[in-house]
Amino acid sequence: MHLAQALLGWYDRHRRRLPWRTEPGARPDPYRVWLSEIMLQQTTVPVVAGYFQRFLERWPTLEALAHAELDEVLHAWQGLGYYARARNLHACARRVQAEHGGCLPPEEKALRALPGIGRYTAAAIAAIAHDRPATVVDGNVERVIARLRAVETPLPTAKPTLYALAAELTPETRPGDYAQALMDLGATVCTPRNPGCLACPWRDACEGHARGMADTLPRRLPKRPRPLRHGVSFWLMRADGAVLLRRRPETGLLGGMIELPTTPWRDQPWGLAEATAHAPEACRWQALPEPVRHGFTHFEIELLVAAAETDAASDGGEDGDIWCPPARFSEHALPTLTRKLVRYAARHRSGPGSG
């Protein structure tokens, strides 16, 4: 039997029920498909499920999301990480509303011109939402194809080969179901460890299985260790217990998110004296005992926390300064790194409302 047909037959019996999926035969809502695909980048299905439901309750249509304030969207995204996705989500909703009458277009090229939509997401929307024969390739699909065709070239070198092999298999009939079937096969049967070849609809054709090497594929080039960067964050508390927060610039890492004032991040550790030149106020800064460590995709950061109290009573200061009692931090969009710093600083400092 043709590989696509075999996979579709398996999918009809074993498809996963996911909050963003429609029942068989029903037409998917492109807004839901897009929203789920953006959320699922870098995040697992169980984590995304709750966020997806909350987003839909709050913004049931793309038009509603386009009319939301960016801050509201960033706040609702809090905890999902990779905040550029939330900013792009919002920008994309506005562009689609303004330029495409509120409907995500079906062509991959038009989709890729929108903020936050790369090759994978464009193909997923074209296939799943519009049933176009687009080739949808993510890490799961790369693994399945590498095993099916016993591709031993390591990733990422093998990417173009795997894409071409996946494209050869993409059918003209039911391409949306096929794309989801392949994702399900990778997620539930052809898993990274111990692939369940006995339950696989492609077992008879699978070269990796036949050669007894399936679980060693795909090969990968050894990862380079992530560089470690350093900074100092400032925990400045007023007499009324409010702590100084500030908003990061809109562009760049964690753009638009709320943070403790911080020195620039650099390759060498900071001494407290040189760091305080970047402090929000000249006062008696004390370094807390341990640095706080956090991993980003391409580097790790180690932040020392310097704490001080101030007599300042007004809300004056730099643009973007926010004085807020720790008990009300949850009203702001704090990325995971800031929440780690806040938890650590609050444990080491006492003060009204610091918990």
Residue with smaller CB distance to ligand SF4, 129 or 185: 185
Which residue among 104, 111, 151, 214 contacts ligand SF4 (CB under 6 A)? 214
Q: Is 149 in the site for ligand SF4 (CB under 6 A)?
A: no
**Minimum distance from residue 120 beta carbon to ligand SF4 (Å):** 20
Q: Which residues are CB-neighbours of 85 under 8 A, at least 6 positions away?
A: 38, 39, 41, 42, 77, 116
Q: Which residues are CB-neighbours of 245 under 8 A, at least 6 positions away?
A: 258, 259, 260, 261, 321, 322, 323, 324, 329, 332
Q: Side chain identity at 222, as an amino acid letter?
A: P
**Minimum distance from residue 201 beta carbon to ligand SF4 (Å):** 8
Q: Work out the number of other CB atoms within 10 angstroms of the CB of residue 261.
A: 21
Nearest C-alpha neighbor of 147 from the set 219, 198, 201: 219
Which one of 23, 37, 207, 300 is the catalytic residue? 37
Instruction: Please confirm, yes or no, whether 37 is among the known catalytic residues.
Output: yes
Number of H helices, E strands in the chain: 15, 7
Strand-pair partners of 161: none
Q: DSSP code of 352?
A: T
Residue with tokens 């070198």: 157
Q: Which contiguous run of DSSP H or E holds residue 346?
A: helix 336-348
Q: Is 303 in the site for ligand SF4 (CB under 6 A)?
A: no
User: For ligand SF4, what does the binding mask look like between residues 104 and 143, x meaning CB under 6 A?
Assistant: ----------------------------------------
Residue with smaller CB distance to ligand SF4, 184 or 259: 184
Residue with smaller CB distance to ligand SF4, 53 or 188: 188
**Minimum distance from residue 290 beta carbon to ligand SF4 (Å):** 44
Strand-pair partners of 262: 233
The CA distance from 301 to 227, in Å, is 8
Applying CB under 6 A, the site for ligand SF4 has a residue count of 15
Strand-pair partners of 294: 301
Which residue among 148, 169, 182, 308 contacts ligand SF4 (CB under 6 A)? 148
The CA distance from 23 to 38, in Å, is 21
User: For ligand SF4, what does the binding mask look like between residues 171 and 200, x meaning CB under 6 A?
Assistant: ------------------xx----xxx--x
Q: Is 218 in the site for ligand SF4 (CB under 6 A)?
A: no
Residue with smaller CB distance to ligand SF4, 94 or 203: 203
| Token pair listed for 71 | 């801050």
Q: Is 144 in the site for ligand SF4 (CB under 6 A)?
A: yes
Q: Is 162 in the site for ligand SF4 (CB under 6 A)?
A: no
**Minimum distance from residue 207 beta carbon to ligand SF4 (Å):** 8
**Minimum distance from residue 157 beta carbon to ligand SF4 (Å):** 21
Q: Is 203 in the site for ligand SF4 (CB under 6 A)?
A: yes
Which residue among 85, 149, 209, 332 contacts ligand SF4 (CB under 6 A)? 209
Q: Is 64 in the site for ligand SF4 (CB under 6 A)?
A: no
The CA distance from 129 to 136, in Å, is 13
Coil vs helix vs strand at 262:
strand
Which residues are part of the catalytic machinery? 37
Residue numbers at the binding site for ligand SF4 (CB under 6 A): 144, 147-148, 189-190, 195-197, 200, 202-203, 206, 208-209, 214
